[in-house]
Amino acid sequence: MSISWSMSRNMFKLAHISDVHLGPLPRLSIQELFSKRITGFVNWHRNRRKHLFASTLDLLLDDIRTHRADHLAVTGDLVNLASGIEIRAAAAWLRALGDPADTSVVPGNHDAYVPGAYEKSMRAWYDYVRGDLAPPQWQEDRRIFPYLRVRDKVAIVGCSTAVATPPFAASGFFSARQARDTVNMLRAAGEAGLFRVVMIHHPPIRGATAFHKRMIGIRRFAAVISTGGAELVLHGHTHLNTLHWLRGQVQPVPVVGIASASQGPGSIKPPAAYNLFSIDGAPGAWELTGERFSLNRTGDAMMPESVDIFAP
């Protein structure tokens, strides 16, 4: 694999959001609910509908626009139960964000909630989950992930852990085939002198989430990062603002999680937030800084946090 690009002298700004969980939940048929969806339906009405708000998401996106981010990374869970109505609504929401070239998406477990949902989601959101060299039109049975997008001095590698799981499970899977392809992409991007960002939904860190929500293939993913090389890993799934580290080729690689983009105030989970990364420098001397902006206590504004998100 060969990659060509042109160096820009400008700093690249990358915004990161996750776990959008677009609501409200639509009316579902008895047939749609006669599946794992019934457990998610009950959970939504008992818990999530009380704390996940579209207005919060709009406020967050407006704040990102004020900071003039060059690109938006969305690390999964755009929907709740992956019904047809939700998938189509998420496609419309993505189109409203702007040019697909400026937004990169990877799916989460809710986007593959029941068998068949993953394929429907990826078909509907294809322009946001395809690499630069992928066919412009959806092709059945095509392996989408990992994908590679080059934006300025940054290589964005999108991986998928989204699989349908039984009731009361929310685990993800990172396959050996995807691991091999990801290593090749990361190596090629490194040889081209690009800053490498890996997007994935489940946290690739042992113990970062409950057993039934874990990522299967954590050791495999860690080997990908240490072998192929990367400068930053972004994930979602936990609805938490977190920082972990994985061994890299030269130095440790930050693994950054973020709260749900729709989370209102008053929950046990942290309120909605997004990360804004500034990437500058050159190979061997990259400069990466990160800021976090979170919803305030009254739920009417996003505020910068007075902490370095890369601090130990």
* Global confidence as pTM: 0.89
Domains of the chain, CATH where assigned: 12-304 (3.60.21.10)
Please give the Cα distance from 49 to 93 (Å, whole number): 19
H or E element: which one contains 233? strand 232-235
Q: Which is more confident, 143 or 259?
A: 259
Residue 40 has pLDDT above 90, yes or no: no
pLDDT digits over 228-252, tens only? 999 999 999 999 999 999 999 989 9
Distance between CA 161 and CA 108 in Å, rounded?
7
Residues 6+ apart with CB under 8 A from 139: none
Is the predicted pLDDT of residue 48 greater than 60, yes or no? no
Is 274 strand, coil or helix? strand
Strand runs labelled E in 82-168: 103-105, 147-151, 154-158
pLDDT at 305: 85
Would you state the structure tokens that stand for residue 20, as one six-digit string?
């959008």
Query: 285-296 pLDDT, tens per residue?
Result: 999 999 999 999
Whether the predicted pLDDT of 107 surpasses 90: yes
